Each structure stands twice: as structure tokens, then as C-alpha cells.
Amino acid sequence: MFKKLIVFILIGVIGYMLTVTFSNIPLGENRIGSLDNPETVSAFYLNKSPQDLKVANTITAIVVNFRGFDTLGEVTVLFLAATGLASILYRKEDEEEEENIKHFAHRLNLPSSSLVRTGAKILFPLLLLLGIYVFIHGHLTPGGGFQGGAIIATGFLLMLISYKGFQTNHKVMVWLESLAGLGFVGIGLYGLIAYGSFLQNTGWTGNLNDLISGGLIPLIYIFIGIKVATELTNVLDILLNIKPRKK
């Protein structure tokens, strides 16, 4: 009873502090600029994205430029999650777990129908093309690196469940993932060295609504798309090829 009382008191204190904190935050009314020409946060983003950055998709400008360091952290979390999943699935199983895994693997290796295989063969290149299109045009249209990478991973998932002999090249995936991550960090360091700010966009941004515009933002999204696609594909490959570890 005493422990429950302490828990209720702590929850009440935390709830009160959160309520007071959020009630004092003028969401959407925070002022930016001089006292003579105040500007809301939303207006700042909406004006600066197309005018200064030449990015039609304001969400992309916020995610990749204004809070690009946070996006780098999200990609890092995805990498750590994939690494942790791989380490957990490759642990040493007991006999009961081994039997369940063998049964599961046997069901996955059952041949698919010719209709499913033909459909997968047709859709796979189209999904890859769509995913590439989405993250290349992320600064112009809704979408971006995470969405495009997920679409590409979906294409690989379709092939993995349709063809029992289909395998991804793990070394190539690791190299692509590593190069994409290094490219993202390299752009950030370039901005820090050249402009004094990590992930700072370049001075040349092109023309609004042109494919080659937005400075370094499209290039960052390409790296994010490749990294997300390879990481998710590796996770799916691991989940669909669980094998008991030899004792």
C-alpha cells in the first residue's frame, strides 16, 4: 500500500510539472526576429524554406536542415536497433527453440505459386524505382529518405517471401550502409568546417521547384534513403532466415 501511494504521488507531481510547463509554452506563437518585425516560428519556416533554401517541401527543410542533427540521431537509432536485433536473434537457443525455428524456416522455404513469383518479379524493379524517385524528390514533393528507403525494403521483402532461393548480398548492403552514414556525417562536417555550423546548407541552392535545388538537402536525403533501405532490408533478411546456432 505504501509503495502504491508513493507511485501515485510521483505520477501526480510529474503530471503537475508537465501541465505547468506546457501551459507556459506559447505553441505557435514563439517570436523570432527583432522587436520591430516579430515573426512566428511557422511563418519563419514557411518563408525561409522556399525563399532562402529553395525547397518546396517545408517539412523536408525542417527535418534535414533546421533539425538535421536530430535526423542524424534517428538514423543512428535505426542502425543500433538493427544491430541489436541481429545480436539477439543469433543467440544460442535451447532444443525447444531450435525445433520451433526449424519449423518456421521450413514453412518459409515452401515454394510460392507461379502467380506470386511472376508478380514479385514485375513489381520488384518498379518498387525500387519508386523508392529512388521518392527520396530523390523529397525536397520537392511529399516523401523523403525514410519513406523511399522503406519502399525499397518492401521490394526486397516481396522477393524474399516469393523466392526461397533469393538472397541479399550482405557485404554490399553493409558497404552501402556504411558509405551512406559516412556521407551524411561528412556533409555535416563540411558545413562545420566551411560555414561554422554542423550540417549547414551551402550558399548555392538553385531555383525553386528544380530537381537540382535546395543545396545539400537532396544529397542528404539520398544518403538517408540508402541507409534506411539497407538497414531495413538487413533486418527483414535476418528475420526471414533465422537459423539455430550450432552447439
Per run of 10 residues, the mean pLDDT along the chain (length 247 residues) is 84 88 66 52 81 84 83 83 74 50 51 81 94 91 88 92 81 89 88 81 80 87 92 84 54
Residue 54 grid coordinates: 529553395
Q: Rounded to an integer, what is the distance from CA 105 to the centroid of its chain? A: 29
pLDDT at 196: 78
pLDDT at 108: 52
The whole-angstrom separation of Cα 245 and Cα 21 is 51
pLDDT at 54: 84
Indicate the pTM of the whole model.
0.72
Closest CA to 55 of 132, 135, 137: 137
Cell match 518563408: residue?
47
pLDDT at 98: 52
pLDDT at 149: 93
The whole-angstrom separation of Cα 101 and Cα 241 is 9
The whole-angstrom separation of Cα 151 and Cα 170 is 19
pLDDT at 22: 78
- Beta-strand pair 31-32/39-40: antiparallel
pLDDT at 169: 85
Contact criterion met (CB below 8 Å) for 210 and 57:
no
pLDDT at 34: 47
pLDDT at 37: 52
Contact criterion met (CB below 8 Å) for 154 and 127:
yes
pLDDT at 36: 47
